[in-house]
Amino acid sequence: VTLVGNDDPTVRTVTSPSDVATGPSPAVPVRNDLRALVGYHSPQLEVEVRLNTNESPVAPPERWLDDLSAALRRIPFNRYPDRRATALRQAVATYHGVEADQVLCGTGSNEVLQCLLLAYGGAGRRAVTFEPSYTLHRHIAQVTATEVVSVDRRPEDFSIDLPRVAQVVEEIAPTLTFVCSPNNPTGRAESLETIGAVLQMAPGLVVVDEAYGQFAPASALQLVHDRVAGYERLVVVRTFSKTFSLAAMRLGYMVADSAVVAGCDTVVLPYNVDAVSQAAGCLALQYVQEMEDRVGEIVVARGRLEEALKALPVTLWPSDANFILFRPDTVPADDVWAQLVRRSVLVRNCSGWPGLYGCLRVTVGTPPENDRFVEALTAVLA
Ligand SMILES: Cc1ncc(COP(=O)(O)O)c(C=O)c1O
């Protein structure tokens, strides 16, 4: 058994000998179209420096925790939560300058993506992704029996090849087209011109996943505010997991035309956002300045990390997010990943993902964590 930590869901993940056990076969087989699919799991190893899942390296503000503790006392725990998450929807709407009926909240933005695919994808419908990108778009599409058509990004800089997009969307008429901006795992944000161009070409919903949107120069929501042609088909998905430092809470949302939100309401499970998460999200939106300060600190730390990487034998790509994609030039990526783990530093091994041969992705951590990573990587590449 090799230690590879390759967490593409299309590839079996092996992180330790115990991982190779396939488990008992179910008495009833899973759906035929799911048999080839492996669940999406990123390795969670016990290490001192975790730089593999693009979380915020720091906790939310102490005062937010005090506020949440007080709010917990007011929650009627014997009752179901507000099904419509009214206060949270309103708070998100105010934050983005839209109406509450344009917002749908979910248990992480992954649930929101799933709602979109359940409502607008499904058997006989198609979704387009621009690869390499966030694997869950493709994965949830497959789980919901939506046919996925992938358009390769340009290999040199991972930009979206618009003439190719025009061809593909004309040919297959997708009901959903996913644009991840900034793109995970390659790092760059798309310009509003590019997103606008995709919106003009693609006939269905254009879903812009802005999980790292606070790091980007602009949000696709600007196109909604500007009411560009087709803005009713634009969906922007965001999360509290990254810059709001709330990955443990599982809270995300989308902003879209109210009719698109209403469509998702037909598939969303009742009470999908629990009362604690609703309170936590409302309170987090009272600390936007603190969140933006954290973004500023991460951008400074990212600059230092980029400089340190440039001094090593690696190829790296510019980032508009809180992670950096790089390819070791002299040592195979699987070996680098495993040797970093031995030094108690965990990064994401993307080396087996389509279009990312030999690549690793490191999340920007605290300055001491970044130093540990650079020190370990320098030793491994020496
Ligand atoms: C691009 C992108 N979208 C969505 C998510 C999921 O975030 P959440 O924690 O809100 O489900 C992630 C998490 O890594 C991500 O990278």
**CA 159 – CA 184 distance, rounded (Å):** 12
User: Do β-strands 360-363 and 323-328 pair in parallel, antiparallel, or remain unpaired?
Assistant: antiparallel
Q: Whose CA is nearest to atom 7 of ligand 1?
A: 109
Tell me how far apart the alpha carbons of residues 347 and 255 are, in angstroms, rounded to a whole number.
31
CB 241 near ligand 1, within 6 Å:
yes
pLDDT for the residue numbered 21: 42
Using the 8-state DSSP alphabet, how is residue 363 labeled?
Answer: E
**Rounded to 5 degrees, what angle do the CA atoms 368, 3, 340 make?**
20
- Among 110, 133, 135, 249, the mutation site with the greatest number of ligand 1 atoms within 8 A of its Cβ is 110
Single out the residue of 211, 137, 227 nearest to residue 174, CA to CA: 137
Contact 132, 354 (CB under 8 A): yes
Kindly report the CA angle at 334 between 329 and 340, in degrees rounded to 5? Answer: 90
Q: Burial, 140: exposed, middle or buried (Cβ in 10 Å; 0-12, 13-18, 19+)?
A: buried
Strand boundaries in the chain, DSSP class E: 49-50, 103-106, 126-131, 147-152, 176-180, 205-209, 234-239, 252-255, 314-316, 323-328, 345-346, 348-349, 360-363
Q: Is 319 in the pocket of ligand 1 (CB under 6 A)?
A: no
Res 22: pLDDT: 56
Length of the chain: 382
Give 275's contacts (C-beta < 8 A, 6+ positions apart): 75, 76, 77, 81, 82
Distance between CA atoms of residues 35 and 15, nearest Å: 21
Instruction: State residue 316 phi and psi, 5-degree precision.
Output: -130, 155
Q: Which residue has the tokens 């979704």?
A: 127
Residue whose entry in the numeric block shows the structure tokens 């390759």: 6
13 lines ligand 1 (CB under 6 A): no
* CB-ligand 1 contact for 115 (6 Å cutoff): no
Distance (Å, rounded) from C-alpha 108 to C-alpha 214?
A: 17
Output the pLDDT for position 26: 80
Rounded average pLDDT per 10-residue block, the chain, 382 residues: 44 39 74 80 86 96 97 98 97 98 98 98 97 96 96 95 97 98 97 98 97 97 96 98 96 98 97 98 97 97 98 97 97 97 96 94 98 98 95
Which two structure tokens, joined as six digits, stand for 234? 């634009």
Instruction: Kindly give the distance from the C-alpha atom of residue 235 to the centroid of ligand 1, in angstroms, as a whole number.
Output: 15
For residue 5, with 0-12 CB atoms within 10 Å meaning exposed, 13-18 middle and 19 or more buried, which class applies? buried
Q: Which residues contact 26 (CB under 8 A, 6 or more apart)?
A: none
In the reported structure, the alpha carbon of residue 71 is separated from the centroid of ligand 1 by a whole-number distance in angstroms of 26
> Could you tell me the pTM of the whole model?
0.93
The pLDDT value recorded for residue 34 is: 87
Burial label, 44 (beta-carbon count in 10 A; 0-12, 13-18, 19+)? exposed
Would the CB of 134 count as within 6 Å of ligand 1?
yes
Distance from residue 111's CA to the centre of ligand 1 (Å): 10
